Amino acid sequence: QINGLFYSPEERTSMEISADIIIDKTSVEVFVDNGAFSYAIERKAVEGNRDGFNFFGRNLEVKELKVCSMKSIWGD
């Protein structure tokens, strides 16, 4: 399950998925397996949070992580 919804990758025997995660000031958007499944959630800042983001799941292993910055479309 992803975010409470059932998702099965195209390769049904695989237990791996890819995810593009876009985080901005107000939301988190997740695109699984090149957009085969996607969802967005509201992001609310927690005052005093020094931990950043936490990702969790059963036997979750991040095999590759690439972090990029994006330019604002609003020009700020």
Does position 1 have pLDDT exceeding 60, yes or no?
A: no
Which pLDDT score, from 0 to 100, does residue 4 have?
A: 64
Which pLDDT score, from 0 to 100, does residue 15 have?
A: 74
Does position 26 have pLDDT exceeding 70, yes or no?
A: yes
pLDDT digits (tens, 9 = 90+) for 33-67: 888 888 898 988 788 888 777 766 777 778 888 98
Structure tokens at 68: 């990029």
Q: Where are the domains of the chain?
A: 1-70
Report which of residues 47 and 15 the model is more confident about. Answer: 47
Structure tokens at 48: 């005093």
Cα 11 to Cα 1, 16, 17, 33, 57: the distances in Å are 15, 9, 10, 11, 20
Which pLDDT score, from 0 to 100, does residue 46 have?
A: 80
